[in-house]
């Protein structure tokens, strides 16, 4: 197993473990996050040969996990057991969604190794939640910027999957744990950097198109057309629920 695969698997387990802990104390918040932001996608096309949906049992489990923390130890033990069931179910669903997205990445750019695609797919999910940026938007921007190539570098110095300019954003990135320019070529950290920037522009500007123009550093209307084409590809692939933009 390569180092990249190990990092990808570790990242996935860290993400799932974090969700497990949050379910124990903030079940209602997690339930709202998942159901309102449509993290779970509808069934994927036959080309991916994977189908799943959120079943009533899962919804019931989320509702149970969202109750107040019980006062008695026995009730707490029962809730903790149910939370473990919720976490296991969530882990299984998350893993399938990550795999679906990784398959999409490889389909769009066959030169991307599957282990890199899995690492990217995990990062897209993780940082979409962390920075509250629509998942489909992050993926579409990455597709537009680099075709999911972590080694991409522009003549102007933009680097990584999200084509982030280190010389412009070094201070912000270092303050958020990305310490050197070469780390932008790491799929996880490169996506973290781009997601962080997008989240700031989306909070600053009233509409997505203007925020994307800031990210691009050029014509907002031209860039929006390019990103929109890749959003359409995601919609047609039917692996991510479209966000409200």
Spatial separation of the C-alpha atoms in residues 225 and 217, rounded to whole Å: 15
Which are the contacts of 131, defined by CB distance < 8 A and separation ≥ 6?
195, 196, 198, 199
Ordered DSSP codes for 198-241: HHHHHHHSSSHHHHHHHHHTS-HHHHHHHHHHHHHHHHHHT-SP
- Is residue 110 scored above 80 in pLDDT? yes
What's the predicted TM-score (pTM) here? 0.67
Residue 215 lies in a domain: yes
Average pLDDT score, the chain: 76
Residue 52 lies in a domain: yes
Render pLDDT for 7-22 as a digit per residue (tens, 0 to 9). 444 455 445 544 443 4
Residue 219 lies in a domain: yes
pLDDT bracket for residue 167 (50, 70, 90)? very high
For the chain, the domain total comes to 1
Residue 60 lies in a domain: yes
The more confidently predicted of residues 58 and 174 is 174
Q: What range does the domain containing 30 cover? A: 3-237
Q: What is the CA radius of gyration of the chain?
A: 19
């Amino acid at each position: 197993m390569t180092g990249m695969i190990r990092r990808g698997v570790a990242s996935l387990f860290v993400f799932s473990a974090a969700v497990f802990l949050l379910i124990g104390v903030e079940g209602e918040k997690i339930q709202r996050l998942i159901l309102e932001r449509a993290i779970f996608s509808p069934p994927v096309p036959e080309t991916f040969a994977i189908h799943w949906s959120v079943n009533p049992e899962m919804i019931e489990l989320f509702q149970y996990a969202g109750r107040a923390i019980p006062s008695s130890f026995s009730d707490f033990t029962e809730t903790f057991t149910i939370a473990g069931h919720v976490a296991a179910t969530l882990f299984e669903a998350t893993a399938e969604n990550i795999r679906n997205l990784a398959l999409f990445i490889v389909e769009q750019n066959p030169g991307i190794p599957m282990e890199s695609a899995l690492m990217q797919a995990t990062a897209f999910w993780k940082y979409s939640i962390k920075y509250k940026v629509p998942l489909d938007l992050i993926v579409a921007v990455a597709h537009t910027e680099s075709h999911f190539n972590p080694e991409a570098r522009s003549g102007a110095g933009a680097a990584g999957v999200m084509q982030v300019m280190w010389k412009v954003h070094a201070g912000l990135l270092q303050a958020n744990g990305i310490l050197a320019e070469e780390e932008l070529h790491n799929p996880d950290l490169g996506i973290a950097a781009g997601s962080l920037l997008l989240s700031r522009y989306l909070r600053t500007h009233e509409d997505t198109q203007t925020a994307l123009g800031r990210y691009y550093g050029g014509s907002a209307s031209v860039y929006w057309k390019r990103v929109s084409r890749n959003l359409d590809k995601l919609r047609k692939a039917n692996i991510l629920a479209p966000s409200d933009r």
